[in-house]
Amino acid sequence: MSESNSWTDQWFNAQQQFVDSWTDMANASNTSSQKSQADLWAQSFEMWRKASGNQPQPDIQQAINKCVNMGHEYFAMAEQVSKAMSGGANPVDAINQWMEQLKQSLQQFSSLPGFDINGVNDFMKQWFAPNQSWQQMTAAFTPMNQAAWQIPGMNASVFNMGETIDPLGKVLEAPGVGYFREPQEKQQRGIQLAIEYHQANHAFNQAFLKVAMESIQGFQGRLLRLDSDKTPKSLRELYDLWVEISEEHYAEFAMSAEYQTLYGDMVNRLMTLKKHYAEITDDMLRAMNLPNTAEVDTMQLRLQQVRRENIVLHKEIDEIKEVLSTQDAPTIEADTMQQELQQLRQENTVLRKEIDNIKATLSKSANGAPAAVVTSAAAKVKSRPATRKKAPAKKTVSKTAVKKTAAKKKTAVSKASKGA
Amino acid sequence: MSDFQFRSGQEVVDEVVQFNQNLSKSVKNLLDADEISAGVTPREEVYAEDKLKLYRYQPSAGVVQNRTPTLIVYALVNRPYMTDIQENRSTIRGLLDSGQDVYLIDWGYPDRADKYLTLDDYINGYIDRCVDVLRKRHNVDKVNVLGICQGGVFSLCYTTLHQDKVKNLVTMVTPVDCKTPDNMLSHWVQQMDIDLIVDTMGNLPGEMLNWMYLNLKPFQLMGQKYVSMVDVISDEKNVKNFMRMEKWIFDSPDQAGEAFRQFIKDFYQQNKLVEGGLMIGEREVDLKNLKTPVLNIFAEQDHLVPPAASKILPKLIGSKDYTELSFPGGHIGIYVSGKAQATVTPAISEWLNERS
């Protein structure tokens, strides 16, 4: 508890300094030499965070970071507007002065080599959040891209120099020679692809810069057109209006054919670059007799195919099991066998009757002519057990098959009767 | 702007100081927050396959239950606990309380071993097997299906192909026409080489999807939200609710490569649900064959799935029992807002109960 009080005290002391600084700044007519209040706030926060010793959950840490970043940008706006107002300007002039500062800052930024977000006015950084988050995201899954970028002489600044220089001269066009010509050409191609990606990324960033500038003009224009009851009266309202207008300008840009082309090109070139380096990595792994991505992909594809077949087979087995477990199949089989047995019994009775008739005829006459009839009838009776033996083998066949078998038997019996 | 009435210098300072105090409280509340849980309603796992889990939510006591169970098919691109984000903001709780027997498919987090999963595997495979589990457990021929966003697209395809197993279909914020002029996501992907992306990446990283979602409205979602948050979470009882939402927004699973390839190409680039020619496995999905009763719900301020993308559905399906519900809110508000709890969930239940 005492520890907690200790860092809480530190925090409130820092906050008191912050409040004092703001009050001083508001009272001062010339504030140009003062240190940024937004920076002071960020520093005091960082000091407090370290003193607290708390280790928040990753999700919470992420939220805190966003809070602090936004706080920093919001304070930057507040500071810039306040400075203009403390210089004696009326609100309209103060805000216009702020807008002009933002424009100037962007113009300066656009003339700098590369696209280092740290060079942007703190408040306008929000305009480049998409670009910044893109860099962070791609860096996470394109390590080869980063590695390629470490080549001496290569940095993002070359893309601001337009066509005046060729960053790597003719090096990338030099033909590969000798035993290692293929790896050499692949490396050259990789660097070429890295340049192409960064050019696409640069074009995307430059388009954002242009739209950001337009949004400032749009903001100034909107302020002039607003009815007096809708003009912002507080910093927060001013910020919300700025967000609304920026979002409108951004949406118009994001729905344009230009954005679609720039974004598509940037994504596609990044993927081409990454794919190329993945192939180079695969070559290296193959050379070391290690499994590579292509081989793992093949195995995964085959595995998935086997899994699909497996699922189908499992389903069929389950269906068969279900049929067997319902008692339905054995009952039908038993019924069929009973029917067959009944038919055979009836047939047997007929045959016995025929035999009795023949015997009676024979006993009346000593003539051997009817003997052929006896042989024929006996042969038919002998053939039946063989047919009956097949029945058990049909236990697992479908109901339809069982019915067909029964029908066949009936026909056979009927034919036998007729023959008799 | 001649009547511009802005605060005086001292008032501006006071405003900044107040903001600073709220921000300090907010950060302190965040540091003091416990671990954030996801999903609040008790549930049991009734089936699992690969990374998929099928959950049944504990029915509400003392409520007469619909005999036909309802299967919620959520999107692959986010996590399904959005439907059960907190006690008083839970679509699932609302459905249970109004008598539905609720099941939900949790797709899990695909990894590289899942990269060859296709839409056929998801729709005719996973969903079909989950439906069979419900049919068997409840001894019914047909179940209700409730598809959400991309899960709604899957549910439309599934129902069209397996009408003998679906009694009623509910689609929520479901993109059917993926090429409406106001669809920013669709606009962005038209020149993306999806084959190249999937061939290169294997699975699509969730971070890439997140980047796209956040950049639909970057000033609101990456800036203004955190400024406004200060007003909300300076009160500690709001911290957990805020963090649950924050956790959900950034919780985007990677997408199985082959399924993603087909989804973007067939739906977003070629718009096959509208234009025709959509094949799932070896069977064509022609929505004209869909005769099942359909309740189609969309959000009027949806920036991810514009209303027009959903509203085309009755023109495409063969069902004569079609109902539409328009919600005055956004893509997320339709699950979590107080208004949604009061209107959307009861409407779904009423519609389902009438057809049971």
Q: Which of A141, A234, A275 sits opposite B205 (nearest CB)?
A: A141
Angle at B52 between CA B50 and CA B58, to 5 degrees: 140
Could you give the dihedral angle defined by the CA atoms of residues B221, B226, B232 and B236, in that order, rounded to the nearest 10 degrees? 120
What is the C-alpha separation between A419 and A107, in angstroms, rounded?
A: 111
B149 is catalytic: yes
How many interchain CB pairs under 8 A, A with B?
225
Contact A265, A206 (CB under 8 A): no
What is the C-alpha separation between B278 and B270, in angstroms, rounded?
A: 9
Is B112 close to A23, i.e. CB distance below 8 A?
A: no
Share of chain B above pLDDT 70, in %: 98
Q: Which chain A positions have a beta carbon within 8 Å of B216's beta carbon?
A: 254
Count Cβ neighbours within 10 Å for each residue of A10-30 and write b for 16 or more, e otherwise: bbeebbeebbebbeebbeeee
Share of chain B above pLDDT 90, in %: 77
Is B196 close to A261, i.e. CB distance below 8 A?
A: no
pLDDT-derived band of residue B294, with 50, 70 and 90 as boundaries? very high
Evaluate if residue A252 carries a pLDDT over 90.
yes
Residue B63 C-alpha, separation from nearest chain A C-alpha, in angstroms: 34
Is A57 close to B26, i.e. CB distance below 8 A?
A: no
Is A41 close to B20, i.e. CB distance below 8 A?
A: yes
pLDDT of residue A393: 37
The region that residue A54 occupies, defined by phi over 0 for left and psi between -120 and 50 for alpha, beta otherwise, is beta
Give the residue among B13, B4, B227 at the shortest CA–CA distance from A236. Answer: B227
Which residue type sits at B135? R
Q: Is A15 part of the contact surface with chain B (CB cutoff 8 Å)?
A: yes
Evaluate if residue A40 carries a pLDDT over 70.
no
pLDDT-derived band of residue B195, with 50, 70 and 90 as boundaries? very high
pLDDT-derived band of residue A346, with 50, 70 and 90 as boundaries? confident
pLDDT of residue B167: 98
CA distances in angstroms from A290 to A278, A283, A293, A296, listed in the order given: 14, 10, 10, 11
* Full-model pTM: 0.80
Residue A389 corresponds to which tokens in the numbers above? 């033996």
- Chain A residue closest to B3 (CA)? A228
pLDDT-derived band of residue B94, with 50, 70 and 90 as boundaries? very high
Which residue type sits at A310? N
Angle at B105 between CA B101 and CA B108, to 5 degrees: 150
Residue B348 C-alpha, separation from nearest chain A C-alpha, in angstroms: 33
Q: Which chain B positions have a beta carbon within 8 Å of A65's beta carbon?
A: none
Evaluate if residue B120 carries a pLDDT over 90.
yes
Residue A313 C-alpha, separation from nearest chain B C-alpha, in angstroms: 13
Is B215 close to A133, i.e. CB distance below 8 A?
A: yes
Interface test with A, best of B15, B25, B27 (most A CBs within 10 A): B27
Check residues B113 and A173 and name the one with the higher pLDDT.
B113
pLDDT of residue A18: 66
Is A54 close to B31, i.e. CB distance below 8 A?
A: yes
pLDDT-derived band of residue A243, with 50, 70 and 90 as boundaries? very high
Share of chain A above pLDDT 90, in %: 20
Contact B33, A56 (CB under 8 A): yes
pLDDT of residue B157: 98
Q: Which of A68, A94, A228 sits opposite B3 (nearest CB)?
A: A228
Question: Quick one: average pLDDT of B202-231?
Answer: 90
Contact B272, B301 (CB under 8 A): no
pLDDT of residue A166: 55
Residue B192 C-alpha, separation from nearest chain A C-alpha, in angstroms: 5
Evaluate if residue A4 carries a pLDDT over 50.
no
- Chain B residue closest to A95 (CA)? B6
Q: Is A345 part of the contact surface with chain B (CB cutoff 8 Å)?
A: no
Contact A141, B205 (CB under 8 A): yes
Q: How does pLDDT run across B255-278, given as a tens digit for each residue?
A: 999 999 999 999 999 999 999 999
Give the residue among B183, B155, B142 at the shortest CA–CA distance from B75. Answer: B155
pLDDT of residue A418: 40
Angle at B84 between CA B95 and CA B65, to 5 degrees: 20
For chain A, give the mean pLDDT: 73
Residue A334 C-alpha, separation from nearest chain B C-alpha, in angstroms: 29
For chain B, give the mean pLDDT: 93
Question: Quick one: average pLDDT of B172-193?
Answer: 97
Q: Which chain B positions have a beta carbon within 8 Å of A84's beta carbon?
A: none
Residue A194 C-alpha, separation from nearest chain B C-alpha, in angstroms: 15
Check residues A89 and B76 and name the one with the higher pLDDT.
B76
pLDDT of residue A139: 81
What is the C-alpha separation between B139 and B286, in angstroms, rounded?
A: 29
Evaluate if residue A395 carries a pLDDT over 50.
no
Check residues A241 and A322 and name the one with the higher pLDDT.
A241
Residue B233 corresponds to which tokens in the numbers above? 């979470």
Q: How does pLDDT run across A82-119, given as a tens digit for each residue?
A: 777 766 667 777 788 888 888 888 887 777 666 677 77
Domains parsed from chain B with CATH numbers? 43-354 (3.40.50.1820)
Q: How many CA atoms lie within 13 A of B189 on its CB side?
A: 25
- Chain B residue closest to A220 (CA)? B1
Contact A369, A321 (CB under 8 A): no
pLDDT of residue B209: 93
How many CB atoms neighbour CB A173 within 10 A? 10
Question: Quick one: average pLDDT of B109-134?
Answer: 97
Q: Which chain A positions have a beta carbon within 8 Å of B227's beta carbon?
A: 70, 74, 236, 239
Evaluate if residue A379 carries a pLDDT over 60.
no
Check residues A341 and B203 and name the one with the higher pLDDT.
B203
ipTM of the complex: 0.90
Is B196 close to A247, i.e. CB distance below 8 A?
A: no
Q: Which of B6, B27, B224 sits opposite A64 (nearest CB)?
A: B27
Residue B72 C-alpha, separation from nearest chain A C-alpha, in angstroms: 23
- Chain A residue closest to B216 (CA)? A251
Is B4 close to A57, i.e. CB distance below 8 A?
A: no
pLDDT-derived band of residue A378, with 50, 70 and 90 as boundaries? very low
Q: Is A320 part of the contact surface with chain B (CB cutoff 8 Å)?
A: no
Q: Is A236 part of the contact surface with chain B (CB cutoff 8 Å)?
A: yes
Check residues A399 and B320 and name the one with the higher pLDDT.
B320
Q: Which chain A positions have a beta carbon within 8 Å of B121's beta carbon?
A: 304, 308
Kind and range of the H or E element at B226?
Answer: helix B225-233
Evaluate if residue A24 carries a pLDDT over 70.
no
Q: Which of B17, B210, B222 sits opposite A19 (nearest CB)?
A: B17
Q: Which chain A positions have a beta carbon within 8 Å of B190's beta carbon?
A: 260, 264
CA distances in angstroms from B148 to A308, B117, B155, B163, B335, listed in the order given: 26, 20, 8, 19, 10
Is A126 close to B211, i.e. CB distance below 8 A?
A: no
Evaluate if residue B12 carries a pLDDT over 80.
no
pLDDT-derived band of residue A341, with 50, 70 and 90 as boundaries? confident
